[in-house]
Amino acid sequence: MEHSISKDRAMEIIGRFSASHVLVVGDMMVDQFIWGKVSRISPEAPVPVVRVTSETLLLGGCANVLNNIYSIGGHSAVAGIVGSDDMGMWLVNTLKDMNIGTEGVVVEAGRPTSVKTRVIAHNQQVVRFDREDKSPITKCSIDNIVHYIKSIEDNLGAIVISDYKKGVVFKKLMEGVRDAIAGRDVFLCVDPKQNNFSLYRGCDLITPNKQEAERVLGVEFEDRDDIVKGGKKLLATYDFGALLITMGEDGMMLFEKNGDITHIPALAQEVFDVTGAGDTVIGIFALSLAAGATLKEAAVLANHAASIVVGKVGTAKISQDELKRVV
C-alpha cells in the first residue's frame, strides 16, 4: 500500500520539531571541498594541475545528520570522536557556534579527525582523498560517550546511530547505548554501513539503502517482489521494530513489525546530487518520531525532505520553511 499525510497533520508534527530532542551518535567527519580551475597538464605526470581558487569546510558523517536536524529546527545533540588536530578543533568550534553542546564529543589523542577532501574543478570532481583511522575507538572513549547519553537521556525522544564504518560503531558501543536507554521511551534508529546486521539487532528503526540490503542478504533485487521478500527476511531475522529501504528514484519501502508494508514513491523532479540524502532521511525520520509521528507519517516527511536535498549540490540541509512548502 501507499501512504500520504494530510497537510494539517504534517504541520502539527513539524510544529513540534522545536520541542523534540534527538541525539546523533557515530562517526564525525569534515567534508572539505577544494575548488579550482584546470588549464594545463602537469609536466611531471599525466595529471591535471588544479589552480586552487577557494576552499569550503562542511559538517560530514554523523555531524551532517545533526546539521539536518538542527537546520529544520529540532533540538540536536551529538556524541562522537575527533582527533586533537586542527580539523577536530574546527568541528568543535563550529558546533559551539551553532549553540550545540560539545560535551559528547570526545578527543582521542593520536587519532586523526576523519576528513574527506574533494578537489573540484569546473564542477567536476578531480580526486578525493581521505584521512582517517578506522580502528575501533578506545574503551575510555566509549565510556565517555555512554556517560554523556545517560546525562541527557531524560530529554531524549530519539537516538540516531549514524554508522560510517570509521571505528565508532561496534559491539561495545551498541551495548553501552542500549544499556543507557533501557526501559526508556527513546526510539533507537540506525543508518547502517556494516554487513553484520546482528550488530544493530532489536533497534526500533534501520534505514539501509537498496544496495546495503542486497549486500547483507547476499542477493540482487530484480523487482519489487524481491525487495518485499528481502525486507520481510531482514525484519524477522534481526528483530527490528521497523525497516526502511531507500531506493533512490524508486522511493522507499517501509516494513513494520505488525506486517504493514508501505511503498512511498519518490517526489524529486530533478536529481542533482544524492550526497547526504541518507543523512537527511534518518535525521528527519528520527525527529518526526520524537515529535509524535507514526512510522508511516515519519517516512512520508523524511521522503519530502529527501526530495529537497537531492535537488541541491553537495551535502545539503533543509529549512523548516522548505519542508512546509513541499508538504
Residue 45 in any domain: the answer is no
Distance in angstroms (rounded) separating the CA atoms of residues 186 and 1: 28
The rounded distance, in Å, linking the Cα atoms of 91 and 87 is 6
72 lies in some domain:
yes
* CB atoms closer than 10 angstroms to residue 99: 7
Catalytic residue (choose from 163, 179, 279, 321): 279
| Residue 252 belongs to domain spanning | 7-29+60-114+132-326
pLDDT for 272: 45
DSSP-assigned letters across all residues of 32-50: EEEEEEEEEE-SSSSSEEE
CA distance 246 to 278: 8
Collapsed DSSP state (helix, strand, coil) of residue 184: coil
Q: How many CB atoms lie within 10 A of CB 321?
A: 9
Rounded Cα–Cα distance for residues 103 and 324 (Å): 32
Q: Residue 258 in 3-state DSSP?
A: coil
Residues near 105 by Cβ (< 8 Å), separated by ≥ 6?
28, 78, 79, 80, 81, 82, 91, 92, 95
Domain membership of residue 125 (yes or no) is no
Structural domain contains residue 95: yes
Whole-angstrom distance, CA of residue 180 vs CA of residue 197: 21
CA–CA distance, 298 with 113 (Å, rounded to integer): 32
4 to each of 8, 9, 36, 45, 326, how far by Cα in Å? 12, 10, 44, 56, 13
d(CA 129, CA 136): 21
**Edge-to-edge strand order for the sheet containing 242-246?**
105-107, 75-82, 21-26, 158-162, 187-191, 205-206, 242-246, 252-256, 261-264
C-alpha–C-alpha distance, residues 188 and 193, integer Å:
16
Number of compact structural domains in the chain: 1
Question: Looking at residue 327, what is its pLDDT?
Answer: 81
Q: Distance (Å, rounded) from C-alpha 100 to C-alpha 78?
A: 8
SS (H, E, C) 268-324: CCCCCCCCCHHHHHHHHHHHHHHCCCCHHHHHHHHHHHHHHHCCCCCCCCCCHHHHH
The SS3 assignment for 326 reads helix
**Inside any domain, residue 40:** no
296 within a domain of the structure (yes/no):
yes
Go through the chain and tell me how many residues it has.
327
In a domain, 124, yes or no: no
**Can you tell me the distance from the alpha carbon of 105 to that of 82, in angstroms, rounded to the nearest whole number?**
7
Cα distance between residue 106 and residue 283, in whole Å: 22
Expressed in angstroms, the distance from the first to the final Cα of the chain is 20
Residue 204 lies in a domain: yes
- List of residues 6+ apart from 135 with CB closer than 8 A: 167
C-alpha cell at 320: 523548516
Residue 279 bears catalytic tag: yes
Q: Would you give per-residue pLDDT tens digits along the chain (327 residues)?
A: 556 788 999 999 999 999 999 999 999 999 999 999 998 999 999 999 999 999 999 999 999 999 999 999 999 999 999 999 999 999 999 999 999 989 999 999 999 999 999 999 988 899 999 999 999 999 999 999 999 999 998 899 999 999 999 999 999 999 999 999 998 999 999 999 999 999 999 999 999 999 999 999 999 999 999 999 999 999 999 999 999 999 888 889 999 999 999 999 887 555 444 455 789 999 999 999 999 999 999 999 999 998 887 765 555 678 888 888 888
CATH of the domain at 280: 3.40.1190.20
pLDDT in tens, 30-57: 999 999 999 899 999 999 999 999 999 9
